[in-house]
């Protein structure tokens, strides 16, 4: 009985210490140290590039236990910015993001797969235009450490691609324009 109780206490302490290594971070959108950018091929001739100016999120991360990472992000879809007011108005409309009906897009991670050397795949559900589908983000840890203001930060980049039709986006500009690429820069401040 004593041995069993000791084993249970030791296992609980070990789990608690491994969980204590993971840290909670808030994505630093206030300091503009994070971005969500998109790129879509325009008719096979060039690219439309832009970003979402308003988003927020948080993550939990431990470099020694990447598989336990969690990420949650909310995006104000009306903040889309392609540096062209008329196009942005169209992108907010029913042909694309339908922002009056679906003002928010979200990403909630479901798992992380450590590929080694700071590389990992972040799997999760992206909800956009009222549709939720799984996506995989190829991610790289840039670094982590103390900042000059007494805080602690961790930073990453990531990329993913998905078909517009998967999210019930009606506008069809042909096969060259069927997919959107997202590029993410995420810097978090440890809480």
Per-residue pLDDT of 109-155, as tens digits, reads 999 999 999 999 999 999 999 999 999 999 999 999 999 999 999 99
Q: Are 48 and 80 in contact (CB under 8 A)?
A: no
Confidence of residue 36 (pLDDT cuts 50, 70, 90): very high
Taking only the tens place, the pLDDT of each residue in 39-75 is 999 999 999 999 999 999 999 999 999 999 999 999 9
The answer to whether the beta carbons of residues 34 and 186 sit under 8 Å apart is yes
Residue 170: per-residue pLDDT: 86
Domain spans in the chain, listed from the N-terminal domain onward: 21-190
Q: Which CATH class name applies to 21-190?
A: mainly beta
């Amino acid at each position: 009985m004593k041995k069993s109780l000791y084993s249970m206490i030791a296992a609980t302490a070990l789990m608690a210490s491994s969980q204590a290594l993971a840290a909670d971070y808030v994505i630093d959108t206030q300091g503009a140290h994070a971005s969500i950018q998109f790129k879509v091929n325009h008719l096979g001739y060039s690219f439309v590039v832009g970003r979402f100016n308003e988003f927020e999120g948080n993550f939990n991360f431990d470099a020694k236990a990447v598989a336990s990472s969690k990420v949650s992000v909310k995006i104000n879809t009306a903040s889309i910015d392609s540096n062209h007011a008329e196009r942005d108005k169209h992108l907010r409309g029913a042909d694309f993001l339908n922002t009056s009906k679906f003002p928010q897009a979200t990403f909630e991670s479901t798992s992380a797969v450590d590929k080694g050397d700071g590389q990992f795949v972040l799997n999760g559900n992206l909800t956009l235009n009222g549709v939720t589908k799984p996506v995989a983000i190829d991610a790289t840890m840039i670094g982590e450490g103390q900042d000059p203001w007494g805080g602690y930060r961790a930073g990453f980049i990531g990329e993913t691609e998905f078909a517009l039709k998967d999210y019930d986006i009606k506008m069809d500009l042909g096969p060259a324009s069927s997919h959107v690429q997202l590029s993410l820069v995420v810097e978090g401040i440890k809480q």
